[in-house]
Structure 1
Amino acid sequence: MILGIDTSNDTLGVSLWRDQAVVGEFITNLKKNHSIRLLPAIVDLMKTCDITPQDLAKIAVAEGPGSYTGLRIGVTVAKTMAWDLKIPLVGVSSLELMAQNGRFFDGLVVPIMDARRGNVYAGVYEAQGETMVAKKADGHHAFANLLQTLAPLNERVLFIGDAVTAFATEAAEVFGDRAIFAKEALRYPRPAFLGELASEAEGVDAHSFVPKYLKLAEAESKWLEANRDV
């Protein structure tokens, strides 16, 4: 049994996966405090599915990028549970998780998260069978630069994620009718895919696991800039 946890953005997702099947899934897309809601969501889902902590063989967590606070909440809970139960912890890219919603799209799948000031966290994926393969590493990009990088590839592009509405006009200006935008219900990650993606991964020891922010927090960046010559 694999417990999946995603708090990397406004979406809070918890899932249970066993023997290539979804046992249970809980998802909300609310701007509410994940630190208050995550543990009760896990407890309620496991109780509903008649699962105990001792039934878990692995924990999968969305490792980033995303909200700094959200990532810390999900990763802390996942690490604590994995450490206490002495089971492996598997980190899954938050962008790869989101890209699973486009696994039957014929073209490039680009999950995007708003990183403010015209920037996004983004990855570039492509379906090979039912597997999403990364064509460009996840990163922090100026959205305009990302579009210019993708435009010469002359492929249809499916944009997925919470930033679609904010950046759709800009993308359409560059790609025209080659820009496809995921419908609302497909823009947000499903935690059930965490179990699927983690099922073949060995995982790591919880103590050594850290989130993948891909960009320093603004306060950290300012401190490093101010102390560059110290």
Structure 2
Amino acid sequence: MFVLAIDTSNTTLSVALVENHQTLAEVMETTKNDHSKRLMPTIEALFKQINRTPKELDLIAVAQGPGSYTGVRIGVTVAKVLAWTLNKPLVGVSSLEILARNLKTEGYIIPLFDARRQTVFAGVYNGESSEVIVPDGHYELTDLLNNLSNSDKKMYFLGNDVVKYEALIKSVLGDRVVEIDDESLHVPHASTLANIALEKEAVENVHHFTPKYHRLPEAEMNWMLEQENKGK
């Protein structure tokens, strides 16, 4: 299976071409609000690098959120257009699961993205089987940590945003938290996304495929609150 994998759900732009679990080419760039300009040129460059064409693809995989609203939309939109125009199957994978698969070890893996105001996008995964322990969602960080404090397992927090909450995490969970110094484990890899996608079913209808934000955009939430206040 020849797979194109795209992850633009956060600051890291990651694109990979993988065939039969072997990474043929991969690009990882830390950009800021530049995915819309960089994604298509990056995809084109990867195909040229290995002297292959998009028509040879068997599957397109994309990170479908949560994460940056703009970033997720860019990746999903490009993946949908490619899947439709090339008539290729499309698979969406949780952005948090992609990150969680960076590490395989005994204990809990907790991929985490900052969602502001002491909230996070997060999930809890079994470190050995990758089984979901706590579903991906939008959580108050203190609530999530308090729930985790009931477990005596070792815990590995992954993601570039972990450092923002490191003190709070350690204050609640103490020495159950294992520090991860390898920076490569804190960023998603499109090659990992490609391999996860092979385990999942393709979407039935490309046009109906949508991101999983796990919460409303802030502008939409503010509008709803305004409407609710007007009705009082």
Aligned-partner Cα distance in 1 for 2:50–2:179: 35
Superposition deviation, residue 4 in structure 1: 0.1
Task: Give aligned-pair identity as a percent.
Answer: 43
1:80 aligned partner, one-letter code: V
Aligned pair count reads: 227
Aligned-partner Cα distance in 1 for 2:162–2:180: 8
Superposition deviation, residue 30 in structure 1: 2.4
Superposition deviation, residue 195 in structure 1: 0.9
CA contact (8 A) 1:120 1:140 kept: yes
Give yes or no for the alignment of 1:218 onto 2:197.
no
* Matching residue within 134, 138, 142 for 1:140: 138
Give yes or no for the alignment of 1:195 onto 2:191.
no
Range with bigger deviation, 24-33 or 67-76: 24-33
Secondary structure of 1:152's match? Answer: coil
2:17 aligned partner, one-letter code: L
Aligned-partner Cα distance in 2 for 1:51–1:175: 49
CA contact (8 A) 1:63 1:71 kept: yes
Aligned-partner Cα distance in 2 for 1:116–1:160: 17
Secondary structure of 1:189's match? Answer: coil
Map of 1:80 onto structure 2: 81
Superposition deviation, residue 32 in structure 1: 4.3
Q: CA RMSD in A?
A: 1.3
Superposition deviation, residue 122 in structure 1: 0.3
1:127 aligned partner, one-letter code: G
Q: How does 1:49-198 map to 2 (within 5 A)?
A: 49-103=50-104, 105-128=105-128, 131-183=129-181, 184-198=183-197
1:108 aligned partner, one-letter code: Y
Map of 1:206 onto structure 2: 206
Compared with structure 1, are the counterparts of its residues 15 and 213 closer, same or farther at alpha carbon in structure 2 (3 Å cutoff)?
Answer: same
Secondary structure of 1:162's match? Answer: coil
Superposition deviation, residue 73 in structure 1: 0.5
1:201 aligned partner, one-letter code: K
2:177 aligned partner, one-letter code: A
Aligned-partner Cα distance in 2 for 1:13–1:116: 23
TM-score (norm 1): 0.95
Q: Which runs of 5+ in 2 are unaligned?
A: none
Superposition deviation, residue 36 in structure 1: 0.2
Superposed CA offset, 1:50-76 (max 9, x none):
120111111000000000000111011
CA contact (8 A) 1:160 1:181 kept: no
Aligned-partner Cα distance in 2 for 1:83–1:117: 38
CA contact (8 A) 1:90 1:202 kept: yes
Superposed CA offset, 1:122-177 (max 9, x none):
0000133xx41111100101111110010001111000002111011111111111
Structure ranking higher in strand proportion: 1
Superposed CA offset, 1:163-208 (max 9, x none):
1110111111111111123222210111101110111323113111
1:114 aligned partner, one-letter code: D
Range with bigger deviation, 70-79 or 18-27: 18-27
